[in-house]
Amino acid sequence: MKKHNFSAGPCVLPQEVMKKASEAILNFNGLDLSLIEISHRSKDAIEVMETARSLAIELLGLEGKGYKALFLQGGASLQFLMVAYNLLEKKAAYLNTGTWSSKAIKEAKIMGEVVEVASSKDANFNYIPKSYSIPEDADYFHITSNNTIFGTQIKEFPDTGIPMACDMSSDIFSRQLDFSKFDLIYAGAQKNMGPSGTTLVVIREDILGKVSRTIPSMLDYKAHLDKDSMFNTPPVFAVYVSMLTLQWLKDLGGIPAIEKLNREKAALVYGEIDRNPLFKGFAAVEDRSPMNATFNLVNEAHKDTFDTLWKEAGINNLNGHRSVGGYRASMYNALSVESAKVLVEVMQQLEKKVG
Ligand SMILES: *Cc1c(COP(=O)(O)O)cnc(C)c1O
């Protein structure tokens, strides 16, 4: 039986997507060729790229608003640098809410001055700073919508008056937002959309062309936009799996439908964390992420018993990141409500056993 996969990334994807993807490896579109052995310039491959790009824009509600989607390589980590390379002329503003924001800040500093408008490092990033001001003369403001490691999520985004770039790697397509508030959105596919190997970048074209430096072609958004995301050989298979997942999401009713399910899963798991005296949540309650629930045992002596219980229940990867310890239940779009219920049952079993 398939495991209940709570992995933080790469993570669970819909089973029907896996099935279609495996068929495409053997014989794609009845071509008697594999998807991974055809030219990226062939009609069938171009169609994959174009469908994936337009589905992303459609699901985010950004059609006709001047945005384009790219599927690039180098992970979200390369975007830390690319954002700054393409947008930072003098100064950029960053909100530091965790490991990934800190890494984004480090890369941006290579390109210019970085103002850290606020940080929650003082409390091991267990909350989202809420009162801060963004310098009006900054070239852009960078924010991380969901902090995968610490299990916090930004609920309200500021009105900036300057371009806003957002790392949405771990919660893109999971909740309704006014995505047109952002001028650039990026997300590594492997958290909520597909396999590793491609990164979605959604960009409003008119924010480009404002820096004076020469941008190497592979790091230049414009070079990728001009070639319809095929400046060089794109990772067609990773994009295809992402396309299938986006298609699955659309058929399900899009972001409003998945948000409802994500809320249901989060309510189950956080409900149990709060009810069960053996556990305590890590993140500040108002900032809790429905995607990544971080929690600890009140008494570490129960660790071996709990670990045995969840492994026996067919749960995969509930271990917390080393910087938080304890446990992390990642509940991305494709994780079923059923899996969330299994986790709750296991937590209740521990209480019966040792409570
Ligand atoms: C995982 C993650 C990254 C890093 O993604 P890579 O594709 O491995 O470079 C960046 N930001 C966030 C929020 C993440 O969750």
Catalytic-role residue among 191, 248, 287, 310: 191
Q: What number does the ligand 1 atom closest to the CA of 190 have? A: 7
The CA distance from 78 to 24, in Å, is 28
Atom of ligand 1 minimally distant from the CA of 144 = 13
Instruction: Calculate how far, in angstroms, residue 33's C-alpha sits from the geometric centre of ligand 1.
Output: 33
- In this prediction, what percent of the chain has a pLDDT beyond 70? 100
Q: Which amino acid, 324?
A: V
In terms of domains, do 228 and 298 share one?
no
147 and 126 Cβ atoms separated by less than 8 Å? no
Query: Is 143 part of a structural domain of the chain?
Result: yes
Task: Please say whether the beta carbons of 273 and 280 come within 8 A.
Answer: yes
Q: Do 27 and 118 sit in the same domain of this protein?
A: yes
Amino acid at 199: T
- Residue 9 domain-assigned? no
Q: What is the pLDDT of residue 1?
A: 86
The whole-angstrom separation of Cα 286 and Cα 39 is 49
pLDDT digits (tens, 9 = 90+) for 58-85: 999 999 999 999 999 999 999 999 999 9
Cα 103 to middle of ligand 1, angstroms = 10
26 lies in the same domain as 97: yes
- Place 235 in a pLDDT band, splitting at 50, 70 and 90: very high
Question: Are residues 89 and 175 both part of a single domain?
Answer: yes
Domain count, the chain: 2
Helices 254-275, 337-354: inter-axial angle, 10-degree rounding = 0
- Last residue of one domain, picked from the residues 220, 252, 284: 252
Residue 5 located in a structural domain: no
Q: Is residue 109 located within the same domain as residue 237?
A: yes
In the 3-class helix/strand/coil scheme, how is 232-282 assigned residue by residue?
Answer: CCCCHHHHHHHHHHHHHHHHHCHHHHHHHHHHHHHHHHHHHHHHCCCEEEC
Question: What is the CB neighbour count within 10 angstroms for residue 355?
Answer: 10
Q: What is the CATH number of the domain that holds 128?
A: 3.40.640.10
Torsion over CA: 216, 217, 221, 226 (sign): positive
Nearest CA to ligand 1 atom 8: 75
Whether 100 is catalytic is yes
Taking only the tens place, the pLDDT of each residue in 45-63 is 999 999 999 999 999 999 9
Ligand 1 atom 2, closest CA? 169
Strands 4-5 and 315-316, sheet pairing = parallel
| Pair (278, 197) in one structural domain | no
Cβ-based neighbours of 94, under 8 Å, separated by 6 or more: 101, 104, 105, 108, 114, 115, 116, 117, 141, 142, 143
- Residues within 6 Å of ligand 1 by CB: 9, 75-77, 100, 144, 148, 167, 169-170, 188, 191
Q: What is the CATH number of the domain that holds 280?
A: 3.90.1150.10
Residue 58 lies in a domain: yes
Domain end residue (candidates: 252, 287, 319): 252
261 with 236, same domain: the answer is: no
Which numbered atom of ligand 1 lies nearest the CA of 146?
A: 13
| Euclidean distance between CA atoms 68 and 50, whole angstroms | 11
CA angle 22, 338, 270 (to 5 degrees): 120
Atom 13 (ligand 1): residue with closest C-alpha? Answer: 169
CA of 55 to the centre of ligand 1 (A): 22
Count of residues making up the chain: 355
The rounded percent of the chain whose pLDDT value lies above 90 is 99
Give the distance (Å) from ligand 1 centre to CA of residue 291. 14
- State the residue range of the domain holding 308: 254-354
Q: Which atom of ligand 1 is nearest to the CA of 145?
A: 13
At 53 the pLDDT is 98
What per-residue confidence (pLDDT) applies to 82? 98
User: Is residue 84 within a helix (H) or strand (E), and if so which, with residue range?
Assistant: helix 75-87
Confidence at residue 76, expressed as pLDDT on a 0 to 100 scale: 98
Atom of ligand 1 nearest to the CA of 189: 7
**Whether residues 210 and 276 fall in one domain:** no
Q: Ligand 1 centroid vs 198 CA: distance in angstroms?
A: 11
Q: Are residues 37 and 53 in the same domain?
A: yes
Q: Say what the pLDDT of residue 355 is.
A: 80
Residue 310 is among the residues annotated as catalytic for this protein:
no
Q: How far is the CA of 355 from the centre of ligand 1 (A)?
A: 37
Looking at the CA of residue 148, tell me the nearest atom of ligand 1: 15
Using most ligand atoms within 8 A of CB, pick from 83, 128, 149, 170 the residue to mutate for ligand 1.
170
| Across 191-204, average pLDDT | 97
Let me know whether 141 and 244 are in one domain: yes
Q: Rounded to an integer, what distance in angstroms lies between the CA atom of residue 326 and that of residue 318?
A: 9
247-292 pLDDT, tens per residue? 999 999 999 999 999 999 999 999 999 999 999 999 999 999 999 9
Residue 24 falls inside a structural domain: yes
Q: Which of 139, 167, 171, 183 is catalytic?
A: 167
Does 64 reside within a domain? yes
Ligand 1 mutation target, pool 100, 143, 144, most atoms within 8 A of CB? 100
Q: Using one digit for the tens of pLDDT, what is the confidence trace for 5-54?
A: 999 999 999 999 999 999 999 999 999 999 999 999 999 999 999 999 99
Mean pLDDT rounded to a whole number for the chain: 98
- Residue 2 falls inside a structural domain: no
The verdict on 216 and 281 lying in the same domain is: no
How many A from CA of 309 to the centre of ligand 1? 30
Instruction: Single out the residue in 210, 225, 252 at which a domain terminates.
Output: 252
Residues 269 and 248 in one domain: no
Phi and psi angles of residue 84, each rounded to the nearest 5 degrees, phi first: -70, -40
Domain presence at residue 295: yes
Spot the catalytic one: 100, 265, 287, 310.
Answer: 100
* pTM recorded for the entire structure: 0.98
Q: Which residue owns the Cα nearest ligand 1 atom 3?
A: 76
The owner of tokens 């067919």 is 314
